[in-house]
């Protein structure tokens, strides 16, 4: 029966993820005009008209590239975002088009955010692809044309920032776990487990993932490597997810009757989410910043990991107290 419930839960999650990623939405909050062609070495013009400008927000545009099969290969050109002003609806951007023999099309991604960053976005949309041609191949003069624009899978992402209070609670729960592990060392005999929980508390309290993400993004932009980050992001994100899955499967099968294994699984989930936030692949960011009851999914999962870790340890302590003749090593394998 538990396997049926698990299968149903994973099926529902898979369907929900597919719907969130694949369902297109019309972008009714802006209209976009772009150059009719993109020419390497010549700046590409994007005009954005906001229907209801919200003063104080930041409006930015990134150029993404496609190959001749229209497979997207991520962002390869960015510009400085502009501050949205009251009653000012029209904003113009001019972005460089780097020469790349594998780029056949480009399309702009328009980002409306609180601080000019992708992670701080309120809305985002993308327009139709534009062909990349050499200056000699352009059949006519480059003009601005109206483009169809859609929300790129984030219609429901009226982004709610992570809660400082929940971050404090999560970090406090990890600290509590550290204290309990120190008091009940006889149940696990593992200094590394205490260290992992302590580092998790520090990581969460300082919001380290966000800080490192901003730092790495800044380095990439100023070094000119920002457009090359897509493939490494994909590779390391997939590698991290597969590694986390392998570790969890191993823990379930190797020590499936141990409450300590629950703590190790929770730590694996916590660190996988934290590292995925650093990698900041757009598709993963989309999932982690979706909200449930006003809480970002990524933060909710990190909080749940800390809560479940403490619950597992408390249950192990209860079992050990019910059978005081059982030593720590035997209580390690309590049926869950």
DSSP string covering 173-230, please? Answer: HHHHHHHHHHHTGGGT--HHHHHHHHHHHHHHHTTHHHHHHHHHHHHHHHHT-GGG-H
Q: Are residues 138 and 278 in the same domain?
A: no
Number of domains in the chain: 2
Q: What does the pLDDT read at residue 134? A: 77
Domain final residue, candidates 151, 185, 220: 151
The reply to whether 194 falls in a domain is yes
Q: Are residues 72 and 114 in the same domain?
A: yes
Tokens of 196: 């992992």
Whole-angstrom CA distances from 170 to 14, 15, 167, 219, 305 are: 27, 29, 5, 30, 9
Q: Are residues 181 and 314 in the same domain?
A: yes
Q: What does the pLDDT read at residue 330? A: 40
Task: Find all residues with CB under 8 Å of 141, minimum gap 6, and list them.
Answer: none
The reply to whether 17 falls in a domain is no
The reply to whether 180 falls in a domain is yes
Domain that holds residue 192: 164-331
Residues with pLDDT less than 50, the chain: 1-25, 153-158, 327-336
Q: What does the pLDDT read at residue 30? A: 92
Q: Are residues 137 and 175 in the same domain?
A: no
Q: Are residues 137 and 205 in the same domain?
A: no
The reply to whether 94 falls in a domain is yes
Q: What does the pLDDT read at residue 25? A: 46
The reply to whether 323 falls in a domain is yes
Q: How many CB atoms lie within 10 A of CB 169?
A: 14
Classify residue 136 by its DSSP letter. Answer: G
How far apart CA 335 and CA 4 sit, in angstroms, is 20
For residue 133, how many C-alpha atoms fall within 13 Å in the half-sphere facing its CB? Answer: 14
Task: List, for residues 131-150, the tens digit of each pLDDT value.
Answer: 888 766 665 667 888 887 88
Q: What does the pLDDT read at residue 28? A: 80
From 140, 75, 154, 144, select the one nearest 112 (Cα to Cα). Answer: 154
Tokens of 141: 């003069």
Supply the CATH number for residue 58's domain: 2.60.40.10
């Amino acid at each position: 029966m538990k396997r049926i419930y698990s299968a149903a839960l994973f099926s529902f999650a898979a369907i929900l993820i597919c719907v969130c990623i694949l369902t297109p939405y019309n972008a009714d909050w802006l209209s976009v005009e772009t150059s009719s062609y993109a020419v390497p070495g010549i700046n590409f013009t994007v005009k954005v008209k906001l229907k209801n400008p919200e003063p104080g927000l930041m409006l930015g545009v990134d150029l993404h590239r496609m190959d001749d099969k229209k497979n997207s290969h991520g962002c390869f050109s960015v510009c400085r975002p502009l501050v949205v002003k009251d009653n000012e609806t029209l904003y113009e951007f001019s972005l460089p088009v780097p020469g790349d023999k594998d780029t056949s099309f480009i399309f702009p991604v328009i980002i409306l955010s609180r601080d000019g960053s992708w992670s701080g976005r309120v809305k985002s949309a993308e327009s139709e692809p534009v062909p990349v041609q050499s200056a000699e191949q352009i059949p006519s003069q480059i003009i601005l044309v109206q483009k169809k624009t859609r929300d790129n899978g984030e219609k429901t992402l009226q982004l709610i920032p992570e809660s400082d209070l929940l971050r404090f609670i999560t970090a406090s729960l990890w600290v509590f776990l550290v204290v309990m592990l120190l008091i009940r060392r006889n149940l696990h005999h593992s200094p590394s487990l205490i260290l992992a929980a302590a580092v998790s508390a520090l990581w969460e309290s300082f919001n380290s993932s966000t800080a490192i993400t901003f730092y790495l993004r800044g380095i990439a932009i100023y070094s000119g490597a920002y457009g090359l980050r897509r493939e490494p992001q994909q590779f390391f994100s997939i590698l991290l997810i597969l590694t986390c899955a392998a570790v969890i499967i191993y823990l379930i099968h190797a020590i499936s009757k141990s409450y300590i294994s629950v703590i190790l699984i929770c730590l694996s989930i916590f660190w996988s989410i934290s590292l995925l936030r650093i990698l900041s692949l757009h598709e993963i960011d989309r999932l982690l910043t979706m909200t449930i009851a006003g809480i970002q999914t990524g933060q909710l999962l990190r909080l749940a990991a800390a809560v479940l870790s403490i619950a597992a340890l408390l249950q192990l302590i209860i079992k050990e107290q019910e059978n005081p003749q059982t030593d720590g090593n035997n209580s390690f394998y309590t049926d869950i």
